[in-house]
Chains A and B, each alone.
Chain A
């Protein structure tokens, strides 16, 4: 299934954990510093240089190279989303994000914000940076380059970005929490195997 940005709430709410999708259209790449600066500007009542509403946010710190024809994404796998745990619920609510691509999942408050607003978390295989770059057809722009290449806000055009697994849906389900529960259940057997 192909998700094309911008996304509607209805479209997002139709997704369920475990489904596999790919993404087309505009994707905003941002991680730690983008979250901090965006929320800071918003708090001061200032506008962001881009409109994130109904958009797709990609947790990634890419390698981008500039040549005579402009910017080119060389490698762009997902970064660990958990680092954004404290900022993401506000980010989703304030800017109206509909999907987040990342790795490793996010904590309960973010899962709740996703359920309330209608937003999903799409897991991309960590480190699959070359496949990700192949799913990005061009760089449309960059903002806040003073934050450094990995931390800047990159605006890119995706074409077949994936495969992505719906790992948190807009109904409060998290594949990570399900796995975590199974891991906890497995621990007695694991300890036994270790002679503990």
Chain B
């Protein structure tokens, strides 16, 4: 059975076949295993480092025979870690929800309605998608400064509340929803918003899942803009806080690694929750686009 499948996959002309059926798969699996080990080694090292004492950190390449919570104690004693985590969680979840809401609503409108200004809006949107966000840094900073919002959560939430990319993703996926389904809803007496809520959202749930993770990862890992607008320590998100710890923790690399490990966990958790939708949604935009 297995052999047959392999045969179907490898035509006569393949020189590898002459080496005998067992060698090539053996080789391929070996290469894959080696690569996987290389890819996972830094992460494994990170986990080990977070539980090694400063003396052991460079003494043992990977795990130390004396694991310790020293790094975590240092981290939590010296830094308001809970505050950083809460800031990161709040900003990232709020941004994700805002983007989800605005993107799905606008994507719905652009996919299923004809209205005044639709064409020019689409054109401007597509044009800005080609423009890298960095050109906006200086003028947006000036604007936020002018509004008196430097060093507030608003400075992060307002400019980040919409995602043009998200709208395009949602528009693509909502275009596939048959119009009959919406008309049936209307005949049943649904308002347009109820159609959005009870038909569109459930139907595009995979896209919602995929975009949730994309948006959350973007917000969680965001560094450049928060680095510019945040000044007070009690507003710092994890990337900003950790970057600021580098020099102060030059004798406590382990604590820094503990903080790094801590910062990776929420995204990993969300990924575990959403991986099916995410991997499908990630590529669907490209396949159709």
Q: Decide whether A and B assemble into one complex.
A: no
